[in-house]
Homo-oligomer: A and B are copies of this chain.
Amino acid sequence: MLNLAKPTDPAWVGRALVDLDEVLVDHAHCEKKAASTAVSLLFRYPEHGALLEPLSRLAREELQHFELMLSHLDRLGIRFYRQLPSPYAGELMKAIRPNEPGRAVDTLLCLSLIEARSCERMKLLAEALEEPTLKELYTSLLASEARHHQTYVDLARTIELREDIRGRLQELAEHEAAVLAASPEMPRMHA
């Protein structure tokens, strides 16, 4: 359903729990980045009417999750701070074709894969976490991530035919799994 080519290495969740504070801060940054990326597409594609309202609504939801993560950090006494991001998103985006409409399609599909990976990993966190409030947080968030994954795939379909999208999504999913496999071990949502 999530279109991921490979599941997360089971060792990831153990590492995440060891450095949970850093993973939670990274997660807050991820929500902020997701909002910012959706907003940036409003500037890049003003003429793609079908993208605008869904991207704006998506950005609002990411900001709401950013605020939610800030409130959890606050509750847990963790300060929000500038953090070295994992190379994941940058490496993933290198597969984006430079010319339109491929650029738009690939950008949307890469974003759909980031959401899919977040969803998969939030499920792992929800299962592994013992603190009930955080367990509940991740259980509630993973549904949104799955929905965002689907929204991005649907938006890509407004630009290119369904059949072409399916093949390209599979290619990019293979690339995403390879990027993740090559990522350094860092306490991050996507590493």
Contact = CB atoms under 8 A, between A and B. Distances in A.
A183 interface: no
Contacts of A29: 46
A76 to B, nearest CB: 14
Identical subunits present: 2
Interface in A35-68: 35-36, 39-40, 42-43, 46-47, 49, 52-53, 56-57, 59-60, 63-64, 66-67
A52 B80 contact: yes
A39 B47 contact: no
Nearest to A32: B42
For this complex, into which size category does the number of interface residues on chain A fall? 20 to 34
Interface in A127-178: none
A64 B70 contact: no
Which 3 A-B residue pairs are closest in the complex by CB-CB distance?
A: A60-B60, A56-B63, A60-B63
